[in-house]
């Protein structure tokens, strides 16, 4: 049997077709991905832990297929951001505090993936506790961008994006609290989904900001992203914040014409600070969507300029609460292992929640969050979806913003508003800027992932291939 060359396509459609036709086995394709990890990860540092039972899991998947099992992801290798609890497999959250922690259970999303037949390749690197936009805050080393090893892959789901981009995994699960899936997807030329808050269960995910965390994933294309959400989305009794809206088979609803769809451009994003080449490429993407029959109009989100400030008051407050359990008694090692960024966020959060400052900062930020939610709700009265660049800049150099926290935080300026509003957003590659990846994001109403998948899929098909070469 000729081995399927994984770099030809990491699309789940291709992989599943070849598995179903018995042109390749799960053991063979899993071994190929493991070989890619051995060959490339010394340069990328996308993985913290490789699953030494992956080939055994693949063999079980092949046996199930022989018996007629029809699992949606049967035999497909998948990587997991290292905040997903995995039974019997080390889960560190990118921090030495949890360096030797082995969970006794699987997160709900992991359980769903396993039930669908997925094979777990390993756990991917991230900014410790998911605190970061560059992949430089991990206690297990910096992750590098496969398209420029001296540039950031984005964060905090840095390893997940780099693994998919470099062909070390066809899918990698991530989390998005303020852009932590979409920014790495944009910087690494891949597709990244932040679902509606509550669309995928947070149970078993090491929390960053509990009212912000969205559980999503990174893939090579929109079809693959839609397929994975069809598996992971769930109303979960273990997570009271999961929505009561039924999950559909999103991947089977792609391909509908998008002529007549009305798209809004956020005027507040189209100003100083947006890189000129990204602005030009976004204009080309808009033209492609217009050629597909979409109507594009300018919209205003009047309070979006306050989104980053609001985010960096509310999220650190939740961080300080969530990290309180990491006291070296119930979980992990001493707090002495907390990184500078973790300490910074805990201190900010504790300060804003303290007596005398709660009303001045935290309570006021809650009110602004409500105004931002209202802005999105009002916008969706006149448009079907919103489009925007994912980032105002292409990937920046490693070390460039490491000692400038405020500059680093502003990397999330186009992505964190969607977390404040709890709406779904999907980043898809568009033409490169300065010979580096960049993305366009499609934003929808809460629980209306169908619409953004379909628009993004149509754009992806019309856009065609992107001419960028990996540096590994």
Q: Which of 26, 85, 133, 156 does the annotation list as catalytic?
A: 156
Q: In what order do the strands lie in the sheet with 77-81?
A: 47-50, 119-124, 77-81, 171-176, 214-219, 191-194, 425-433, 436-443, 385-389, 262-266, 295-299
DSSP assigned state of 333: S
CB 443 within 8 A of CB 388: yes
> Which residues have a Cβ under 8 Å from the Cβ of 404 and sit 6 or more positions away?
none
- The CA distances from residue 393 to 313, 319, 373, in Å, are 24, 27, 25
CA distance 113 to 61: 13
* Tokens 């002529």, residue located: 259
CA distance 418 to 404: 24
DSSP assigned state of 5: -
Q: Which of 81, 112, 114, 401 does the annotation list as catalytic?
A: 81
- Catalytic residue status for 9: no
- The CA distances from residue 350 to 164, 310, 316, 323, 362, in Å, are 36, 15, 8, 11, 10
Longest dimension (CA), the chain: 70
- Catalytic residue status for 354: no
- Exposed, middle or buried, 71 (CB in 10 Å: 0-12/13-18/19+)? middle
- Note if the bond before 156 is cis, omega within 30 degrees: yes
- Catalytic residue status for 156: yes
Q: Which of 180, 225, 391, 411 does the annotation list as catalytic?
A: 180
CA distance 185 to 79: 15
Residues with catalytic roles: 81, 156, 180
């Amino acid at each position: 049997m000729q081995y399927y060359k994984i770099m030809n396509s990491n699309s789940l459609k291709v992989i599943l077709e070849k598995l179903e036709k018995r042109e390749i086995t799960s053991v063979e394709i899993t071994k190929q991905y493991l070989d890619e990890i051995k060959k490339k990860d010394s340069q990328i540092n996308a993985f913290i832990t490789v699953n030494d039972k992956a080939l055994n899991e693949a063999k079980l998947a092949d046996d199930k297929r022989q018996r007629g099992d029809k699992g949606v992801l049967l035999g497909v290798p998948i990587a997991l951001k290292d905040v997903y609890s995995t039974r019997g497999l080390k889960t560190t959250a990118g921090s030495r505090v949890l360096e030797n922690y082995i969970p006794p259970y699987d997160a709900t999303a992991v359980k769903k993936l396993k039930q669908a037949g997925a094979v777990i390749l390993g756990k991917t690197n991230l900014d410790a506790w998911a605190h970061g936009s560059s992949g430089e805050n991990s206690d297990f080393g910096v992750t590098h961008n496969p398209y420029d090893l001296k540039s950031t892959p984005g964060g905090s789901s840095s390893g997940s994006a780099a693994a998919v981009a470099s062909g070390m995994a066809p899918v990698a699960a991530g989390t998005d609290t303020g852009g932590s899936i979409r920014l790495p997807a944009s910087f690494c030329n891949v597709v990244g989904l932040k679902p509606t808050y509550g669309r995928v269960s947070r149970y078993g995910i090491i929390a960053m900001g509990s009212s912000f965390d969205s559980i999503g994933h990174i893939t090579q294309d929109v079809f693959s992203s839609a397929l994975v959400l069809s598996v992971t989305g769930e109303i979960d009794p273990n997570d009271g914040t999961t929505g009561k809206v039924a999950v559909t088979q999103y991947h089977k609803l792609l391909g509908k014409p998008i002529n007549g769809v009305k798209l809004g451009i956020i005027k507040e994003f189209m100003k100083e600070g947006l890189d000129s080449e990204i602005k030009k490429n976004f204009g080309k993407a808009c033209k492609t969507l217009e050629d597909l029959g979409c109507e594009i109009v300018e919209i205003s989100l009047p309070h979006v300029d306050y989104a980053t400030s609001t985010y960096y008051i509310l999220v650190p407050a939740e961080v300080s609460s969530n990290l309180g359990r990491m006291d070296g008694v119930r979980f992990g090692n001493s707090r002495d292992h907390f990184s500078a960024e973790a300490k910074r966020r805990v201190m900010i959060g504790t300060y804003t929640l303290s007596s005398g400052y709660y009303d001045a900062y935290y309570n006021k930020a809650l009110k602004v969050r409500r105004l931002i939610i209202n802005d999105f709700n009002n916008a969706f009265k006149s448009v079907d979806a919103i489009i925007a660049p994912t980032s105002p800049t292409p990937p920046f150099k490693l070390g460039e913003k490491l000692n400038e926290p405020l500059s680093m935080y502003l990397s999330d300026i186009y992505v964190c508003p969607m977390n404040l509003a709890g709406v779904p957003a999907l980043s898809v590659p568009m033409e490169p800027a300065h010979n580096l990846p960049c993305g366009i994001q499609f934003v929808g109403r809460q629980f209306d992932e169908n619409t953004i998948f379909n628009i993004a899929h149509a754009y992806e098909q019309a856009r065609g291939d992107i001419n960028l070469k990996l540096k590994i």
